[in-house]
Amino acid sequence: MKNKLIICLLFLMGLALSVPMKAQVAEGTGHTSIQVNADGTYTVQKGEDLYDIAKKFGIDLKDFKEANPGLTDEPDVGAMIKVPAIANENDYILHSCERNERVTSLLKRWKVNESAFRAINVSVGSHVFVNQVVLIPIQRIESFDWMAHLQQEEVEQVVVNAEADEPLEDTIVLEDTVAFVEPHPLIFDFEEEMGEVPQCHADPANSNRLYRVALMVPLYLQEVNDLDISKEYAAKTRKARPFSFLQFYEGFMMAAEALTDKGLNLDLSVFDVTDNVASAERALQHIEGQDYDLIVGPFFGKSFNVIEAYAKAKGITVVNPLSTRESVIEDNPNVVKVKPGDLGLVMSLSNLVRNIYFDSNVFIVSREDAADTAFLTQLERHLNVAVDEEVTVGSDDFLGFARSESERLEMGSRLVPTIDVEGQVYSTKDFQSGILDNVLIPNAVKRYSYDEIDEVLSQLSGVRNNLIVAYGDESVFATQMLNTLSKEVDRFPITLVCIPDWSKFEKLLVDNLLKMNAIYVSDCFVDYENDAVKRFVRRFRGRYLSEPQRYAFQGYDLAMYFLTALQNYGADDFMGCLHCHQAPMLSTQYRFHYGNYLKKGHENGKENLYWSLYQFDNEAIKLVPIDPYQKTGSDENE
């Protein structure tokens, strides 16, 4: 059977969702060589600002700034700027609009004429809004000789093949998506209580079968009355309901089409199912009596209940893309919830401590709301299992702390006679003379509310790392924690774990987070340094003429995971094999346990247990992903 992707779009009212507008640029097409230094830097010339340089290289401002921390819009003449290893395939670059920016100021700052700007930004009116992405026309760069210092293999991945019949942006580079991948183990006490876990192996015969999938995404297309909309309305499309989840659909489609190119036979039906129950009932009329292998969506609770009830009766697996409610998987073994919950958070943090911070002085500090008590009790229990019961600390660490205390007290060359370490007083002479070569410190996780923060401060250790798990989703709590701990971080080594998802608090001081090696915990994280992410971003830009946001990555990841699971294990068995399955994803991973840890015996569905953890890198001044399931130090090869 020839590989194919059959797409049925229902209730889409003629909207060509997957066909990008062709960009036209009314400027010259000549090319001038660009002088780049041997070390990959560019020397700022007289009269140039960052906008000139960005146009010259065809690289977005934010890419330059990410590669050059602290870079301003008007760098000094003669300054050496690192050129990001990016080759622009288009005749435009993207600009994310700032507060109080207008089209007139954009034209002046970027030094482009209005006719060229309007030619590729037909929906932009006289006003733009914060974070709106517009296209800045540039001369197409015909040669990338200036990138000669880069590896040839990397250049070949990003340069357009002008003779190709099909645009490269429609192709995704994939790993072997059907190969079996050994999953990370869960923390040991979970596995002990669950018993033996069966292993699944991919059957090549499954990859040749045709799979029928329904995607139910809220597009609100009945609210789009006319495709030839006014400029004023077009300027507000990012805030309009018909476009809220459009990028989820676009990301899903990019993954689906990439997999069909790799051999997946897919019959995909797309339904516009909103928060209106009637839209779910209309979709149900279309799918009733048809043999679907998988349903993705709906996104809203009441509509999901309609489809979920039908799927349960027919034994069809249904994936809930966005809900955080534990109840969505109750009493239906065919429902999959991809947003992780409290159990996954406990497991991720337990593995983080067990594999990386097993010898740290660990605290849990929270708002201590009554609603959080059950979760915090579970977390405390499992972190205590994960830490070492006793930690050996050498004399060098004690003497190092004594020297830092002497400097803090301005004692000159004299050393403090005693040091207070975790409630125990030690004589520095004992370490200097060799009487004490190392000290065995009892280790246990300590839990406090923020009202008891003074107790936490009194127990901070100066001879080993202090891991503080701060649990609270309020900006006030986060700010209080940072303000309090920032006064101690120069004296005590602190690693702060920020849960849940402090990245939404934009006003938190980055300097303080850097000092505390802050670890963020979120349901997803996009690493823009990752090669696969770079390829996706380039192709999404080229295809849809917009910047991929959170939903684009989530749509891609969900499609990539569940479609490859079908391809590996077949429609009848893949639900029971999700605990063995991994796929090449961009913003997260999904991890499912074979059984149900907290509610044994219940006919419940499956919940993703994976939370993304990422940490501030002090040297690069950026966030980097960390793997809590990867052991460090001497335990790594055990």
What percent of the chain is predicted at pLDDT more than 70? 77
Smallest Cα–Cα separation from 393: which of 359, 358, 423? 359
pLDDT band for position 173 (cuts 50, 70, 90)? very low
pLDDT, tens digit, for every residue of 457-470?
999 999 999 999 99
Is the residue at 7 inside a domain? Answer: no
Q: Helix crossing, 342-355 with 373-386: angle to 10°? A: 20
Which residues, other chains included, contact 52 with Cβ-Cβ below 8 Å and sequence gap of 6+?
Answer: 111
Query: What amino acid is encoded at 540 in this protein?
Result: F
Is the residue at 501 inside a domain? Answer: yes
On whether both 316 and 334 belong to a single domain, the answer is yes
Q: What is the pTM of this model?
A: 0.68
On whether both 570 and 625 belong to a single domain, the answer is no
CATH number of the domain within which 376 lies: 3.40.50.2300
How far apart are the C-alpha atoms of 331 and 339, rounded to whole Å? 18
pLDDT (average), residues 434-454: 93
Phi, psi (rounded to 5 degrees) for 8: -115, 115
pLDDT band for position 500 (cuts 50, 70, 90)? confident
On whether both 109 and 36 belong to a single domain, the answer is yes
**Domain count for the chain:** 3
pLDDT, tens digit, for every residue of 277-324?
999 999 999 999 889 999 999 999 999 999 999 999 999 999 999 888
Q: In Å, how far are 240, 351, 385, 500 from 445, measured between CA atoms?
A: 47, 14, 9, 19
Helices (H), 501-598: 510-515, 531-544, 550-573
On whether both 66 and 134 belong to a single domain, the answer is yes
Most distant CA pair in the chain: distance in Å?
85
On whether both 480 and 382 belong to a single domain, the answer is yes
DSSP letter (8 states) at residue 241: G
On whether both 352 and 213 belong to a single domain, the answer is no
On whether both 310 and 381 belong to a single domain, the answer is no
Residue 551 Ramachandran class (φ > 0 left, ψ -120 to 50 alpha, else beta): alpha
How far apart are the C-alpha atoms of 290 and 249, rounded to whole Å? 22
Question: Which tops the pLDDT comparison, 386 or 600?
Answer: 386
The C-alpha torsion from 423 through 429 and 432 to 435, rounded to 10°, is -80
On whether both 209 and 225 belong to a single domain, the answer is yes
Question: Which tops the pLDDT comparison, 372 or 165?
Answer: 372
How far apart are the C-alpha atoms of 429 and 440, rounded to whole Å? 18
Is the residue at 124 inside a domain? Answer: yes
Cα 535 to chain centroid, rounded: 16
List the Cα angle 378/558/180 in 5-degree steps.
85
pLDDT of the residue at 607? 92
pLDDT band for position 89 (cuts 50, 70, 90)? low
On whether both 294 and 330 belong to a single domain, the answer is yes
How far apart are the C-alpha atoms of 317 and 491, rounded to whole Å? 54
On whether both 333 and 347 belong to a single domain, the answer is no
pLDDT of the residue at 39? 72
pLDDT band for position 633 (cuts 50, 70, 90)? low
pLDDT (average), residues 615-630: 78
Which tokens belong to 69? 């921390």
Query: What amino acid is encoded at 526 in this protein?
Result: V
H or E element: which one contains 424?
strand 424-427
On whether both 68 and 37 belong to a single domain, the answer is yes
pLDDT, tens digit, for every residue of 125-171?
767 777 777 888 887 665 444 443 333 333 333 333 333 333 323 33
Is the residue at 154 inside a domain? Answer: no
End-to-end CA distance of the chain: 46
CB-CB neighbours of 164 under 10 Å:
9
Name the average pLDDT for the chain: 79
pLDDT, tens digit, for every residue of 201-256?
888 899 889 999 999 999 887 766 544 445 444 444 444 566 778 999 999 999 99
On whether both 560 and 460 belong to a single domain, the answer is no
The pLDDT of residue 408 is above 80: yes
Question: Which tops the pLDDT comparison, 450 or 629?
Answer: 450
The pLDDT of residue 334 is above 80: yes
Question: Which tops the pLDDT comparison, 169 or 572?
Answer: 572
Task: Name the burial class of residue 66, with classes exposed (0-12), middle (13-18) and buried (19+) by CB atoms within 10 angstroms of its CB.
Answer: middle
Question: Is the sign of the CA dihedral 430, 433, 435, 440 positive or negative?
Answer: positive
Residues 257, 275 contacting (CB under 8 angstroms): no
Tell me which residue range forms the domain holding 514.
343-389+443-522+618-635
pLDDT band for position 372 (cuts 50, 70, 90)? confident
The pLDDT of residue 182 is above 70: no
Question: Is the sign of the CA dihedral 161, 253, 323, 199 positive or negative?
Answer: negative
Residues 533, 504 contacting (CB under 8 angstroms): no
How far apart are the C-alpha atoms of 350 and 353, rounded to whole Å? 5
pLDDT band for position 42 (cuts 50, 70, 90)? confident
Question: Is the sign of the CA dihedral 613, 618, 619, 620 positive or negative?
Answer: positive
Length of the chain: 638
pLDDT of the residue at 62? 81
